[in-house]
Structure 1
Amino acid sequence: MTVLILTCEEDVTADMVIVHLHGSGVPVVRVDPADLTGGVSLSGEYVHGRFRGHLSAGGRLVSIGGLRSVWVRRPGPPAGRATQPSPWLTEEAAQALYGMLRGSDARWMNHPDAARQARHKPWQLRLAQRCGLPVPATVITTFPRAAREFAERFPDLVVKPVSGAHPQDPPRAVPTSRVAPDTDFAAVAFGPTLLQRRIAKRADIRLTAVGERLLAARKATAPDAEPAEVDVRFATSPSPWEPVEVPQRTADAVHAYLREAELAYGAFDFVEDADGTWWFLECNQSGQFGFVEVETGQPIARAVAEWLSRPAPGETPGVNGVRTTAH
C-alpha cells in the first residue's frame, strides 16, 4: 500500500521524509494539488454501493483504496497551475480531490478538518489552557480601550498576528514585536490585534510531536540579547538548537492537546522562563522541522516516515518488513 504526500513543488522537509520511506521500501507518491488538470489527474466511481478512485501523477496510477496514509504537508491550491485557473475551478478541484480522499481508509497527518480548526490561534490558546499548558496573559481585541487597560495590567507586552503569515506571494512572515511603552492603541480599532505578556525568557523551545513521540529542542537566549529580539525566527543569537528532555507534566499536556485537536503531528513553540517553566505560544499543525533536525540530529523525518508507513487496516507485515495486503 502507498503513502500519499500532498505538498508544494519545492519542499525540502518532505524530501527528507521521502528518503526514509524509499529506504524502508514503502511505496510513496508525491502530489501537488496545484497540478490538477495538468500533471495530476483523478477519477472516482460510485457504482452498486462501492467506490473506486484513482490518482495519476508522474506517470504513476495510484488506487485511493490502496492508500495506507496521507500526509498533508504544504499543498498548493487545487488546480492553481491549471491553464485557466479560477476560484471556481479551485473549489471544484478541492471538492473532488479531498472528497475522494476522505472516502478512503487511510490515516491522515493531519486530517484536513482537524488541520483547519487547529490553525486558529485563539482556539489554540483556549485548548492549551484546558490541557494544562501555561499560557501567557493574552488579549485579542478591536477595542482600543480594552488594549489600554490590558497594557496597564501587563506593561511589558508583545504584539503578533492572529493568523500567521501575511497572505502575499510568496507568504511573508510577520515577526512578533515588543510594544513600546507609550503606545496609544488607537489603531487596534482597524483590525483584531493580539497582545500578549512578554515572558522574560532564557530559552526558546521547539517541540515536535509525531504521533506519541515527542522530540524537543532548546535554543538558549544570549545573556546580552537585545530586549527587542523576542521572535526566535529573527533573533541573532549564536546559540545552537540542542536536544532537551520534555518535562513529564508538559508531555502529558501536549498529548492531551493532540488528542483533543485530533492531530497526528504538531510543531509546538514554547519559551522557557528563569524558573524553567515552558510557556505555550502556539502549535503549527504543519510546521517545519528540517532546521531542528540538521542542528540537533534528532530523527524527526524518520519518525514521520515510520508513522506514515505503519500498516493500514487489513495489511500485515511481510518478509523483511515488506507489507502485504491480507486477502
Structure 2
Amino acid sequence: MTVLILTSEEDVTADMVVAKLHRMGTPVVRLDPADLPDKVVLSAHYAHGDAVAAGPALLQRYIPKRADIRLTCVGNRLFAAQKTAEPGQIDGRYGDTPHTWEATPVPERIGRSVQEYLARAGLAYAAFDFAVDEEGAWWFLECNQGGQFGFVELETGQPVSEAVALWLSQHPAAGRRPEIHL
C-alpha cells in the first residue's frame, strides 16, 4: 500500500509523518497541490439562490483560563499537551510567552468523551482544543479533523507522528479504533 499525502512543502507536521513512514518502509507519494500545472477547483451549487447572505459562525462563551490543552487522537491513542496561558490570552498557540507545551494526563471522563465523539463522527484522527479554567475544569472548544500536532510534538517529544505513520501504514501497533455501537 502506498500512502498519499497532499500538503504544502512547508508542512512540518507532514514532514514528521513522512519520515516515520520512510523508516517503516511504507511507500509515500507526497504532492503539493500548488505544484499542479492547472488550478484545482472545488465547486458547489446553492439550493437557495446564487449567493450566501451570511456564513456559519461559531460563537463561544469566553472562559478565563489558566491553560490551553491540545488533545491529539490517533486511532485509540490520546496525546494531551498543556500550555500555561497568560492572563487574558485567547489562543495559547499564538503569542510570545515564556511557556511551552508539556505532556499532561487526560482525565478519564474526557478520554471516554473524545473516544465517543470520534466513534460517532467516524474519525480516526482529530485534534481537540480545550481551555482549563482556574478550578482545573476542561472546557471543550473545538475538534479539528485535520488539526496540526507538530508544534506540540516538537516541544513535548510525544510520538504523535509515529502514531499517525503506524495508522496510515496499517501497522498492527497502530491502535486501530474498534467499532463502537452506541
TM-score when scaled to structure 2?
0.80
**Residue in 2 aligned with 1:255?**
115
**Does 2:133 align with 1:273?**
yes
Cα deviation per residue 1:14-53 (whole Å; 9 max; x = unaligned)?
11111111111111111234444x4xxxxxxxxxxxxxxx
- The alignment status of 1:4 with 2:4, answered yes or no, reads yes
Of residues 154, 165, 181 in structure 2, which corresponds to 1:294?
154
Query: What residue number does 1:199 align with?
Result: 63
Equivalent in the alignment of 2:168:
308
- Paired residue for 2:145? 285
Q: Which has the higher contact order (CA 8 A, sep 6+)?
A: 2
> What does residue 78 of structure 2 align with?
214
Q: Which amino acid aligns with 1:90?
A: V
Q: How many residues align?
A: 163
Equivalent-residue separation in structure 1 for 2:96 and 2:118 (angstroms): 32
Label 1:203 to 1:32 Cα distance change in 2 as closer, same or farther (>3 A): same
Question: Which structure features the higher share of strand residues?
Answer: 1
The separation in 1 between residues aligned to 2:117 and 2:34, in whole angstroms, is 31
Greater gyration radius: 1
1:32 equivalent in structure 2: 32
Q: Deviations over 1:215-244 (max 9, x none)?
A: 00001124xx3x2x2222333331111000
Separation in structure 2 between the aligned mates of residue 192 and residue 283 of structure 1, nearest angstrom: 16
> Percent identity over the alignment?
60
Contact 2:83/2:99 (<8 A) preserved: yes
Q: Residues 20 and 161 of structure 2 are in contact (CA less than 8 Å); yes or no, is this contact kept in structure 1?
A: yes
Residue 281 of structure 1 aligns to a residue whose secondary structure is strand
| Misfit runs of 4+, over 6 Å | none
CA contact 2:85–2:92 (8 Å) conserved in 1: no
Aligned equivalents of 2:56, 2:20: Cα separation in 1: 43
Q: What SS does structure 1 have at the residue aligned with 2:60?
A: strand
| Contact preservation (8 Å) 2:65, 2:131 | yes
- Whole-Å Cα distance in 2 between the matches of residues 278 and 91 of structure 1? 37
Q: Is the alpha carbon distance of 1:271 and 1:35 closer, same or farther for their aligned partners in structure 2, counting shifts above 3 Å?
A: same
Aligned to 1:197, what secondary structure does the other structure show?
coil
Q: Map of 1:140-289 to 2, 5 A cutoff?
A: 194-222=58-86, 225=87, 227=88, 229-289=89-149
Long gaps (5+) in structure 2: 44-53, 173-182
Distance 1:7 1:195, change over 3 A: closer
State the superposition RMSD in angstroms. 2.4
TM-score norm. by structure 1 comes to: 0.46
Change in Cα spacing, 1:34 to 1:268, as seen in structure 2 (3 Å) is same
Q: CA deviation at 1:201?
A: 1.0
1:203 is matched by which residue type in structure 2?
Answer: A
Tell me how far apart the structure 2 counterparts of residues 261 and 194 of structure 1 sit (CA, whole Å).
19
